[in-house]
Structure 1
Amino acid sequence: MQSALGGREVAVRRHQGIVIASQKLHRDLPPTTLYAYGESQETAVYPGPTLEAKMDVTSRIHWDNHIPDEEHFLPLDRSIHWANPKRGGVPTVVHLHGAETESIHDGHPEAWWTPKGEHGPTYVTQHNSYPNTQRPAMLWYHDHAVGITRLNVVAGLSGLYFLRSPEDKLTKQFPYGEYEIPLVFKDWQFWPNGSINFPNVGDNATIHPTWCPEYFGDTILVNGKVWPYLDLQPRVYRFRLLNGGNARFFNFTLSDPSLRFHKIGTDGGYLDTKPQILSSLLLAPAERLDILVDFSGLKPGDVVFLNNSAPAPFPDGDDSFNPSQILSQPENSKLMEMLQHKHQQGDTSNDSSAPVLRHRQIRLREFDDTHNDPTVSLLENRRWLDAVREFPVEGSVEVWEWINTTPDAHPIHIHLIQFQVLNQQPFNATWYLDGRCNITVDFPKPGTCFTGPPIPPEIYQTGFKDTAVVSPNFVTRYRIHFQTSDGRDFPFDPTLGPGYVFHCHILDHEDNDMMRPFKVVHATKKKSGLREKDNTILTNPLF
């Protein structure tokens, strides 16, 4: 089938509905009521159906909402800004996380809809189009309705989306088929009757009756199963990991010290450098990893546990925040032969020699009540509904500096593009907030807030990313090229529609205003009146 736009091939259209489902998540647990994606009531499941797409072949998906509930089955907090349909119902809108797509198809938070035909202010269509012109990667789709994303995702609204390249299927350099296994991690709490236990009283109920700073479950699910196991053969496996939880970080290790993780890809696809041999894997909410593990040395009956040591909330002062991860040791020759494979697509993407047009500084702030319980976290001290202040120019390169003055690590996600973490630099957040120093003064000059020089990104921050960890008491710098991740112009006009957003992917933070809009502009339009605001700096002595 040929597209009416540009003659590009278009994949067969799919219909995905959102319904109430009942799913048995463990043999000893009664069925759990969920909201789930599926082509029908009978096929709806958590995680949602895994969607497969081909590079340079447009996918068209119609998303629908058939949830009959008058109100969400999880506790709703009306004290924070949310969709708030006048005629009731559960608002939904689908975001294909990591996709490079036009903003009317991006799952804008205010583009929600309900089964009763009520729409949010930026709603345009439920017939979404995904060009799939970016590098091959594992994306994921999830709900993004303003103010209730945390509820809809906890309720089950997420699933995987694989973007494949013909080269992958021709070379078969890495394990595939039954030996390529996606692993979707999620944490839940359950009542004895199988229903989801979600807080119904806020930390400070006088301000937010039910909202809490983070939701942490005491039960881990993988691919919709509670504490599952996997029978393995003595060979190399490829695992595609997603942290699909609301707030929990994972720091994975294997119980057999002879086994290692071989990282070959991340959010944005294959690494452009040689694979990384790791003893642990840090995975923040929304991050993905593509890894190989060689089990060929195991014997029948051997058992290996996948352990998690990340504290909650992260990092909570734990030394495991920056574990020693890179190893150097002899490796199995067959595995090393696989790792010699160099994926060609993306080798020249996001040219690092391109000049930086602009540097931005964005402060992360947390505000507490008199009992030191957080009541809101903000980006640049602004709410979601405040006016747009970021207008990046299409095709330009910018550096965004995230100044984290909070005690928590925040996984910051930017829609539309992939980026790379340049570096991070420690600073004294207390002095900075008190106005006793300045981060525009380089270390070690007098008056600087920095307590050390810039350091390279942590191993878990490397590769092309759409979500990366911004550490407390650090300034973390993203290098962003506002073009496709493989170096081409966007196959659509990114300046049209409601625009895009950036936000913390701890969903409880996102829902309570740790999210901001941005709009891409053409260079000609940029000169005709749209102006940058005061959180933008044109020069910085650090660069």
Structure 2
Amino acid sequence: MTETMETVGAPAATEEDLREATEAGQELTPFVDALTVPRMLRPAVTEVTQEVEVALRPAWVRLHSELPPTLVWGYDGEFPGPTIEVRRGQRVRIAWTNRIPRGSTYPVTAVEVARTAGQPLPHNRPGRDGVKPSEDVAALPAWSVTHLHGAQTGGGNDGWADNSVGFGDAQLSEYPNDHQAVHWWYHDHAMHVTRFNVYAGLVGTYLVRDDEEDALGLPAGDREVPLVLADRNLDTDDDGRLNGRLLHKTVIVVPSHPETGRPVTTPFVGPYSTVNGTIWPHLDVAPDWYRFRLLNASNARIYNLVLVDEDDQPVPGVVHQIGSDGGLLPRPVPVDFAAGAPLSVAPAERFDLLVDFRKLAGRRLRLVNKGRNQPSGVADLADNIPYPQVMEFRVGKRGGRPAEVRGGPEARPGPDARGGFVLPKVLSGSFRRYAHDDLHHGHRLVVLTPPGTVGGGGHPEIWEMVEVPTVDPHVPAAGALQLRGSDGALKTYRRISRTFNDGLGFTVGEGAFEQWSFLNLGAPVHPMHIHLADFQVLARESYEVSGFDPALGGTRRPVAHDAGRPREVPPNERGWKDVFQVRSAELVRVMGHFDGAYGRFMYHCHLLEHEDMGMMRPFVVLPPEVLKFDHGGGHGGH
């Protein structure tokens, strides 16, 4: 599902829009329900690889104590699923078994609500607005495949989107877990319907532990808490009361797309924030250090989080980011809410956070979603926020027992005056920053097109590009792009693929380093995810993109680096990443090492509606010795 530029640039909700949303949801009281912590699942450590079954089951859950039960699909019947914890190098086999009976009621009601230009976006209100539910979504079977997001494992275990299973069958996957300590997560990845299956509840957390992490003596036990964020909407009964049923409401832009006549719709964003499956929960904490493993498991909502006090003022100096998608950062990064810098968390991104509650005894703090105003003036999907609240922390007045730390006393850093945890100055001594010029590597250019580009049917697309000889003067043509980079060099590229089922474009030799560059010619922010490998963000660069003509599907004049709008890679992106926010008129360069596995994998936008509607492409990793026999002519200009 996609949005036109007009939709993306729509203003934030009006006062009337927010008032209507508040009235419709006024029966829900914030922060009355305690945060639930997902069950821990630790496969047995043995010399022989053990198989663990995780069954997909329907279940009734309470998203809020003032709501009727909600039907979901969950791993082991839980939303979110159990937190799976393993040690580095502990090879595990998981049978993801589909135990959702044939004929089961699909737990998601889906509607598309029409909107004309100039009207507020109605998707953040509960209820169907009188629109009849989609019969096609209601008829969906329990058809699912599970992807362990971030894992380095063979293509046959990765959760290929077409290889989904039905009732009674199991997807058998093996995970070597030979990776530094990391926070991965698992979720449904079924072709065409990922947005609905994930929304139904098929998500869970996966943690890998190692000795380097243990030696830091980080808060553990009940002081290490997963926070799985996901926005949701709810249907209403005939009297306008919330009935607890999951509602996937998106917006049809009227008129329809002029090229195809098909409706163009926005990705899903909903009014209610859930944390670990509960709407607006609270967590009782001691005045001590806590470790929070934050995951944004939303379909498309980008959270811009701020920790505020009872007076709605940012709380300074207590939050430190120590890890990102692929593991520990080199050093802690302070999160300075007081300077107006929220934590921007896109779908599928993970943030490893330490919070120091020691000086906040007796206080009530709230995590809120403040939205963002981008310098480009383009409104982000997260800007339309009827309810900013996410969760509340209630800090006790006494310290209680000392926090448990991972690794035992011999692994702990020197204590402070109270004998408690001390924030390390260095986190990962094993981390090494990639030096571009010191690595022999290939290059890939991936272009993210505006929704209205000719031939795209109204959807933003992924274009894989290959460099061709530059001809002067440039002859504009569909699929041809001229780019003047930050080095001043002018290069010409042609498109080699644009849809998932186009011919294979990128083939990578196992063990190779590659730089992938993502150029966003339109909007909105696209969180791009590449399977298999860990990456480092090398650069973020602004581009002047008006030379690209969507009606032509190519450039009439070069897309050029804009030195007047410098962008930097922030400190919290200078570790290992597998999801990268690519903003409007921005080029993001990332470097990855494709080692440790062979097979067919995918990369895609992690706005799930975009992924399902075509922003996904395959790539293949082969032994370099085998690649010498490839007769495909280079596959994408490696």
Structure 1 residues 101, 309: CA separation in 2 closer, same or farther (over 3 Å shift)?
same
More strand by share: 2
Please say if residues 390 and 532 of structure 1, whose CA atoms lie closer than 8 Å, have aligned partners that are also in contact.
no
CA shift, 1:509, in A, is 0.2
Match of 2:611, SS state, is helix
Provide the C-alpha distance between the structure 2 equivalents of 1:386 and 1:396, rounded to a whole number of angstroms: 24
Residue of structure 1 aligned with 2:353, choices 288, 291, 295 = 291
Residue of structure 2 aligned with 1:405, choices 505, 521, 524 = 521
Hey, what does 2:424 align to over in structure 1?
A: 339
Hey, what does 1:67 align to over in structure 2?
A: 100
Please say if residues 188 and 219 of structure 1, whose CA atoms lie closer than 8 Å, have aligned partners that are also in contact.
yes
Please say if residues 431 and 449 of structure 1, whose CA atoms lie closer than 8 Å, have aligned partners that are also in contact.
no
Hey, what does 2:156 align to over in structure 1?
A: 104
Provide the C-alpha distance between the structure 1 equivalents of 2:218 and 2:261, rounded to a whole number of angstroms: 49
Match of 2:247, SS state, is coil
Hey, what does 1:175 align to over in structure 2?
A: 219
The 5 Å alignment of 1:369-408 reads 375-380=458-463, 382-408=498-524
Q: Which amino acid aligns with 1:25?
A: L
CA shift, 1:495, in A, is 2.8
Structure 1 residues 158, 265: CA separation in 2 closer, same or farther (over 3 Å shift)?
same
Hey, what does 1:442 align to over in structure 2?
A: none
Q: Does 1:92 align with 2:144?
A: yes
CA shift, 1:356, in A, is 3.4
Please say if residues 18 and 67 of structure 1, whose CA atoms lie closer than 8 Å, have aligned partners that are also in contact.
yes
| Cα deviation 1:5-28 (Å, max 9, x = unaligned) | xx9945542111112111011110
Provide the C-alpha distance between the structure 2 equivalents of 1:316 and 1:248, rounded to a whole number of angstroms: 18
CA shift, 1:341, in A, is 4.9
Hey, what does 1:517 align to over in structure 2?
A: 618
Hey, what does 2:483 align to over in structure 1?
A: none
Provide the C-alpha distance between the structure 2 equivalents of 1:314 and 1:451, rounded to a whole number of angstroms: 15
Provide the C-alpha distance between the structure 2 equivalents of 1:37 and 1:283, rounded to a whole number of angstroms: 24
Q: Does 1:458 align with 2:492?
A: no
Identity among equivalent positions (%) equals: 31
Please say if residues 401 and 477 of structure 1, whose CA atoms lie closer than 8 Å, have aligned partners that are also in contact.
yes
What's the TM-score once normalised by structure 1's chain length? 0.80
Hey, what does 1:325 align to over in structure 2?
A: none
CA shift, 1:387, in A, is 1.2
Residue of structure 2 aligned with 1:136, choices 181, 188, 202 = 181
Match of 1:479, SS state, is strand
CA shift, 1:354, in A, is 4.5
Hey, what does 2:75 align to over in structure 1?
A: 37
Please say if residues 321 and 332 of structure 2, whose CA atoms lie closer than 8 Å, have aligned partners that are also in contact.
no
CA shift, 1:530, in A, is 4.4
CA shift, 1:338, in A, is 2.5
Hey, what does 1:242 align to over in structure 2?
A: 295
Structure 1 residues 305, 406: CA separation in 2 closer, same or farther (over 3 Å shift)?
same
Provide the C-alpha distance between the structure 1 equivalents of 2:56 and 2:262, rounded to a whole number of angstroms: 28
Provide the C-alpha distance between the structure 2 equivalents of 1:176 and 1:409, rounded to a whole number of angstroms: 34
Q: Which amino acid aligns with 1:160?
A: T
Provide the C-alpha distance between the structure 1 equivalents of 2:284 and 2:566, rounded to a whole number of angstroms: 44
Please say if residues 315 and 408 of structure 1, whose CA atoms lie closer than 8 Å, have aligned partners that are also in contact.
no
Structure 1 residues 350, 60: CA separation in 2 closer, same or farther (over 3 Å shift)?
farther
CA shift, 1:367, in A, is 2.7
Structure 1 residues 394, 350: CA separation in 2 closer, same or farther (over 3 Å shift)?
farther
CA shift, 1:128, in A, is 0.9
Provide the C-alpha distance between the structure 2 equivalents of 1:353 and 1:292, rounded to a whole number of angstroms: 35
Q: Which amino acid aligns with 1:361?
A: L
Hey, what does 1:262 align to over in structure 2?
A: 320
Hey, what does 2:594 align to over in structure 1?
A: 482
The 5 Å alignment of 1:162-311 reads 162-169=207-214, 171=215, 173-191=217-235, 192-199=242-249, 202-203=252-253, 212-256=265-309, 257-279=315-337, 280-300=342-362, 302-311=363-372
Hey, what does 2:122 align to over in structure 1?
A: none
Structure 1 residues 362, 168: CA separation in 2 closer, same or farther (over 3 Å shift)?
closer
CA shift, 1:457, in A, is 1.4
Match of 1:508, SS state, is helix
Please say if residues 58 and 130 of structure 1, whose CA atoms lie closer than 8 Å, have aligned partners that are also in contact.
yes
What RMSD over aligned residues (CA atoms) do the two structures have, in Å? 3.3
Structure 1 residues 525, 272: CA separation in 2 closer, same or farther (over 3 Å shift)?
same
Hey, what does 1:324 align to over in structure 2?
A: none
| Cα deviation 1:393-439 (Å, max 9, x = unaligned) | 21111111111012211100000011011101111111134624335
CA shift, 1:532, in A, is 5.7
Provide the C-alpha distance between the structure 2 equivalents of 1:272 and 1:126, rounded to a whole number of angstroms: 36
Q: Which amino acid aligns with 2:198?
A: V
Please say if residues 506 and 635 of structure 2, whose CA atoms lie closer than 8 Å, have aligned partners that are also in contact.
no
Provide the C-alpha distance between the structure 1 equivalents of 2:380 and 2:192, rounded to a whole number of angstroms: 33
Match of 2:100, SS state, is coil
Q: Matched residue pairs, number?
A: 478
Match of 1:368, SS state, is coil
Larger Rg: 2
Structure 1 residues 230, 519: CA separation in 2 closer, same or farther (over 3 Å shift)?
same
CA shift, 1:110, in A, is 1.0
Does 266-275 or 247-256 show the bigger shift? 266-275
| Cα deviation 1:333-381 (Å, max 9, x = unaligned) | 888932235334x4358676642321111100133399xx983121006
Q: Which amino acid aligns with 2:305?
A: F
Please say if residues 188 and 196 of structure 1, whose CA atoms lie closer than 8 Å, have aligned partners that are also in contact.
yes
Match of 1:317, SS state, is coil
Structure 1 residues 467, 299: CA separation in 2 closer, same or farther (over 3 Å shift)?
same
Provide the C-alpha distance between the structure 2 equivalents of 1:27 and 1:465, rounded to a whole number of angstroms: 37
Structure 1 residues 11, 178: CA separation in 2 closer, same or farther (over 3 Å shift)?
farther
Q: Which amino acid aligns with 2:598?
A: T
Structure 1 residues 113, 209: CA separation in 2 closer, same or farther (over 3 Å shift)?
farther
Structure 1 residue ranges without an equivalent (≥5): 1-6, 39-43, 78-83, 118-124, 322-331, 440-447, 484-489, 539-543
The 5 Å alignment of 1:9-20 reads 9-10=47-48, 12-20=50-58
Provide the C-alpha distance between the structure 1 equivalents of 2:534 and 2:147, rounded to a whole number of angstroms: 15
Residue of structure 1 aligned with 2:539, choices 410, 417, 423 = 423
